[in-house]
Chains A and B, each alone.
Chain A
């Protein structure tokens, strides 16, 4: 398992805290959702970046009061096929305006990278080292897409409507 951020393989600065373990000061930590909801007032006063691991079957609306204090939210893909966290990511970015780090964890493989980036993730715990190394190459696969989403790139429809983006050719097939 390797962590990818900004297109590069990086060391994980965050310490993963289990349910009842003590939390050291001045160290970036990721706490479980239950811990955050139980000890939030205390945790947000603490010195050091705070992250939360949020399960994919819990509404992200519950996180709203704490979003300003969270440096990172880790969303889970228990299986490649289970895409609930894509919706959670877009809601956090687009509806709740979360600007911190969104980390994808779990069954994260290369064929999800494009979807993940476009849904608003910017940190990736990649399961296979070969996939992590191929990150930049995989992201370069698509130069166009049809819909607007959390990564802010203009969708085809809007690019087409701009006069400078008139398609160059109209071939009949």
Chain B
């Protein structure tokens, strides 16, 4: 993981001091709420339905055990004893008091955590694959580049008041686990014909009320040019992005209205004028950053040790979890363990302070002190020795984070919705909870196989409903909560937006509809291993539409 040095620490501490002054000026009335708003937003502070919310950045989803413990401490001291992991590898505290915010931030800063740029019209937390650095299908660790870009755009003097927020993701693996094409700007590391590694640059992706998948504007960008190219994209957007209408202000609209060729040309011209200047990377720059990432000192271990095989044979519960939640590691003898934050009837992505502390301890004992946060709102222990898996499973089970439902129908991605969020039109959490109850039988879930449900409580699409295999979007009709259902969306390397199946259904019927869709799939699939998403692809949404609306 990345280790803060004196520069990083000083900057975060100075930021907290500045925010303390801003809060004092707001409390004294010197700042109006309108003036305070952009300032608090750039520190991750929202005003929600019941209280202020603080969003803490977890850059590229990597946390140390000490940081996780600090999050637990802040949850206990300043919130109601829990935190909510989001689809953007952030953590949200939903019950923070304005006057206590500077102290909470100072406590986080001591552990190298902050809320800088987790909100506001600036470059947001840079996200990546939660398996970065450990996935077998990875070209190289994308976090080095995410960190380099994170530093470059932090408190950037030119790009802190852009037309709208700006989300960047970096990927480096064969299978896209970072949902690259739904980002404003995505960088994918790959090798060109000459065997050099560089970036494919994609722009203009995003969900919300006008969903678009990002388009490639540069198939291969040399690594030395990554900062200058990002700068050219941001500069083009900052100058020409629309500011007349908040719903048309994202870069995807600029790219769409200008046309991707014209946009790319504008960026290219700007880039040519700056590419050989101060932003051209010195050969040592990336290795300087890489040098401050600590990698585990792995032991030499064999894959599939005998004790693991025996434990799996003896313990069906453990075996089911192994099949579901444990993935191959690039180092032999190790495994990547996913912790499900989606228990039956729970709030997707919530973790209590006690769970966070326990996970931090387990990370210390079994995963070189490291934890990851993924966009699916689950956690990961990235470096567990296979011989320890049985013990780890028992410990995870004891704190309720070993439900073997990762990637299955009850592993639901959901935004906080109307239970917390002032933007929401409808509730998300109780919908997710009801669905997990309907599908509580693991056999049924396994039979259904990989099936991603995404729920958003409004068109802002924080729950990424457009790219859910089943997408559920809350809308309001005459003061009542209704839900639009889409099918066939996905956020992987072959990303696709879902198709609406028909009129919105009322709150009380959503779980019934999901059950109908699941039942229809079981009848329609060609063979048991044809995934839900593939059946939808083969048949379209029509047979599902018929099934859902025939009865209603």
Contacts and interface: CB of A to CB of B under 8 A. Distances in A.
B205 interface: no
B11 interface: yes
A166 B292 CA distance: 12
A168 interface: yes
Interface stretch (A2-10, A35-43, A138-146): A138-146
Contacts of B310: none
A99 interface: no
B9 to A, nearest CB: 8
Contacts of A164: none
B515 interface: no
8 contacts: A86-B161, A144-B11, A146-B152, A146-B154, A150-B157, A157-B285, A169-B6, A173-B111
A101 to B, nearest CB: 18
Interface residues of B, number: 51
Nearest to A95: B273
Interface stretch (A24-32, A62-70, A113-121): A113-121
Interface stretch (A12-20, A45-53, A77-85): A77-85
B151 A146 contact: yes
Interface of B: 3-8, 10-11, 14, 17-18, 22, 30, 35, 38-39, 64, 66-67, 110-112, 121, 148, 151-162, 235, 238-239, 243, 273-274, 277-279, 282, 284-285, 288, 292, 294
Contacts, number: 128
Contacts of A156: 7-8, 11, 151
A81 B39 contact: no
Contacts of B235: 87, 90-91
A33 interface: no
B66 A173 contact: yes
A146 B274 contact: no
B5 A143 contact: no
Contact of A142 (B111, B152, B155, B243): B155
A4 B515 CA distance: 66
- 3 closest A-B pairs by beta carbon, nearest first, are A83-B161, A118-B157, A167-B5
Contacts of B17: 141
Given A84-B239, A142-B11, A156-B11, 9 more contacts: A90-B157, A95-B274, A114-B155, A156-B151, A161-B282, A167-B5, A167-B6, A170-B5, A172-B294
Given A130-B30, A157-B285, A167-B6, A86 B11 contact: no
Contacts of B239: 59, 84, 87-88
Nearest to A78: B243
Contacts of B22: 111
Contact of A82 (B6, B7, B161): B161
Contacts of A168: 6
Contacts of A119: 157-158
Given A95-B274, A167-B5, A173-B3, A83 B160 contact: yes
Contact of B14 (A143, A146, A150): A143
Contacts of B243: 82, 84
B36 to A, nearest CB: 10
Contacts of B11: 142, 144-146, 156
A118 to B, nearest CB: 4
Given A81-B121, A172-B64, A161 B157 contact: no
B5 A80 contact: no
A173 B112 CA distance: 7
A32 B518 CA distance: 65
Contact of A141 (B14, B238, B282, B292): B14
B238 A86 contact: yes
Contacts of B6: 167-169
A20 B53 CA distance: 52
A11 interface: no
Interface string A132-167: 000000000111111111100000111111000001
B3 A170 contact: yes
A162 to B, nearest CB: 11
A173 B238 contact: no
B78 to A, nearest CB: 19
Contacts of A83: 121, 158-162, 238
Given A119-B157, A146-B155, A171 B38 contact: no
Contact of A149 (B67, B157, B162, B284): B157
Contacts of A71: none
Contacts of B18: 141-142
